[in-house]
Amino acid sequence: MSEQTTSEGMYRRLWPSETDKFRDHLLRLDKDSRRMRFAHAVADAFIDDYASRMTDYGSVVYGYVLDGKVRAAAELRRLGDGWGEEAEAAFSVERAFQDHGIGSELMGRVVRAARNRSIRRLYMSCLAENSKMQAIARKHEADLRFEYGEVIGEIVPQTPDYFSIMAEAAEDRMGFMIAVLDLQSRLVRAA
Ligand SMILES: CC(C)(COP(=O)(O)OP(=O)(O)OC[C@H]1O[C@@H](n2cnc3c(N)ncnc32)[C@H](O)[C@@H]1OP(=O)(O)O)[C@@H](O)C(=O)NCCC(=O)NCCS
C-alpha cells in the first residue's frame, strides 16, 4: 500500500460528520458508474437515504478526498448483528478519477480492515460485466480468491498481526485529525 497522502489527495476513513460528502460523491457518479455501483439503476432519493446510513452498524468507509471533496469511496459493511466471518464490500470512483489506481488502493485498505476484523469472505455485488473490478481483484490475488459472476472474494487466511492492526489505527488517527480540521475550516467559512 502506498503512502496515505498523495500530491493529489488523501486516502482516509470517513467519519459520521461526513455523510454529506459521501452522499455528494455518490450523486456525482455518472449513470453507468451508479448502475455498476448498486448493481441496478437507483434514484437520487435512494442515494440520499443510503448515504445517511453511512456509518450504521459500525460500517467502515474509506474515501479518497481531494480539495475537501470525496471523489472515491470504499465501504466495508457487516452482514449480521456483529462482525462475523462475512462482510460486504463496495467501491465507487467518479468517472474523471477512474483508471488512476484509486480503486486498487482502496481495495487494499478494505482487505486490511476486513482481515483486522477476522473476516474471511467479502461479498461484492458486482455485475459480471465489470471488467475493471475484476482487474483490481487480480491485482490483489495474493490476498483474495475470487469467484466471478456474482463476485465473491475469499480473503486468503492470514491472522491479523500487530503491524496490520497498528497500521490501520495509526492511519485512522491521522485521518480523524484531518477530518476535524476540515470540519473546522468549513465552519469558519460558513460563519
Ligand atoms: C470499478 C472501479 C471501482 C475501479 O476503480 P478505478 O480507480 O477506476 O480502478 P484502478 O484504476 O485502480 O484499476 C482499474 C484497472 O482496470 C483496468 N481496466 C480499465 N478498463 C478496463 C476494461 N475495459 N477491461 C478490463 N480492464 C480494464 C485498468 O487497466 C486497471 O488495471 P491496471 O492498473 O492493471 O492497468 C471504478 O471504475 C468504479 O467506481 N466504477 C463504477 C462503480 C463500480 O463498478 N463499482 C464496483 C461495484 S462493487
pLDDT in tens, the chain (191 residues): 544 445 589 999 999 889 999 999 999 999 999 999 998 899 999 999 999 999 887 889 999 999 999 999 999 998 877 888 888 899 999 999 999 999 999 999 998 898 888 888 888 767 667 888 878 877 877 677 666 555 566 666 566 676 777 778 777 777 777 777 777 777 777 77
Q: Which atom of ligand 1 is nearest to the CA of 138?
A: 34
Is 3 a member of any domain?
no
* Non-local CB neighbours of 191 within 8 Å, separated by 6+ positions: none
Nine cell digits for residue 5: 497522502
Q: Is residue 2 part of a domain?
A: no
Contact residues for 174 (Cβ-Cβ < 8 A; gap 6+): 4, 12
Query: Nearest Cα to 33, choosing from 84, 106, 97, 117?
Result: 97
Distance from the alpha carbon of residue 180 to the mean position of ligand 1, in angstroms: 31
Decide whether any atom of ligand 1 lies within 6 Å of the 99 Cβ: yes
- pLDDT for the residue numbered 151: 54
Q: Is residue 77 assigned to a domain?
A: yes
pTM over 0.95: no
Beta bridge partners, 152, equal 123, 147
Name the amino acid, one letter, at 179: A
Question: What is the rounded CA–CA span in Å between residue 109 and residue 94?
Answer: 18
Tell me how many domains the chain contains: 1
| C-alpha 44 to ligand 1 mean position (Å) | 24
Residues 149, 152, 157, 158, Cα dihedral to 10°: 110
The set of residues, in sequence order, having a beta carbon less than 8 Å from that of 116 and lying 6+ positions away, is 160, 164, 165, 168
What is the domain range of residue 101?
10-190
Angstrom distance (rounded) from CA 93 to CA 132: 11
Q: How far is the CA of 103 from the centre of ligand 1 (A)?
A: 7
- Kindly state whether residue 138 falls inside one of the protein's structural domains: yes
Tell me, what CATH number does 61's domain have?
3.40.630.30
Ligand 1 geometric centre to CA of 186 (Å)? 32
Gap between the Cα atoms of 48 and 12, Å rounded = 22
